[in-house]
Amino acid sequence: MALAPVRAAVFDAYGTLFDVASAAAEARGALGDRWQPLAELWRSKQLQYTWLRSLAGRHADFWQVTGDAVDFALEALGLADAALRARLMESYRHLAAYPEAKDVLTRLRGAGVRLAVLSNGAPAMLASAAESAGLAGLLEQVLSVEDVGVYKPHPAVYRLAVDRLGVPAAEIVFVSSNGWDAFGAKAFGYQVAWCNRAGQPAERLPAAPDAEIRSLAELPPLLGLP
């Protein structure tokens, strides 16, 4: 299946371009076999806090939310330790990109597709991650929810890319590994490719993505590119 022609590709950052588990994996020497449970609980609480803060109208940036989430996870697993926390948070500034990410972005840019990130992340977090992963020079825009003060899947977030790129939503493909994010983007009006890395079942939500891929490497053919 191919998508309709697009002028721009907009990517979620965390879990799509950057491996959110890599911060805990980097500390596996200290965490032992608890690194993966920590990574999973940290991510779960991080997302829960974004949604709860949005619903309550109590916004805080993603750096604070990420810190609050790791504090919960460390305490829940009996791992609370200031030095370990500091190490994990520093690693989150420099998350590993997925192996195929740079090549795919390079191919899309070479084909004339405009590239952007649209993320919950705070601007400094996103800039640091993109730079350390070698992706910064490929991206035309790195857009943060901090410009609207609410988290995904609020429609105001998805409007940012349309406004900043000056491209209609129907001519943009939005790519996310998060099913709920894919729903929000599709409900807004983007063409959407859900990068279902984990082989999750489809979300029971009223807007479905246009395509499902298992890796970013499947994106160029989906757009009719070599």
One-letter identity of residue 74? L
Q: The tokens of 27 are what?
A: 């500390």
Active site residue 103: no
Rounded distance, CA 167 to CA 211, Å? 21
Q: Which of 12, 19, 181, 210 is catalytic?
A: 12
143-150's contacts with Cβ under 8 Å and 24+ in sequence apart are 143/116, 143/117, 143/118, 143/119, 144/62, 144/119, 144/120, 145/62, 145/119, 145/120, 145/121, 146/61, 146/122, 149/59, 150/54, 150/59
Could you tell me what percentage of the chain is helix, strand and coil, using 3-state DSSP and rounding each to the nearest 5? 50, 15, 35
Q: The tokens of 7 are what?
A: 């002028």
Rounded distance, CA 45 to CA 64, Å? 12
Q: The tokens of 48 are what?
A: 């829960």
Rounded distance, CA 45 to CA 50, Å? 9
For the annotated catalytic residues, the residue numbers are: 12
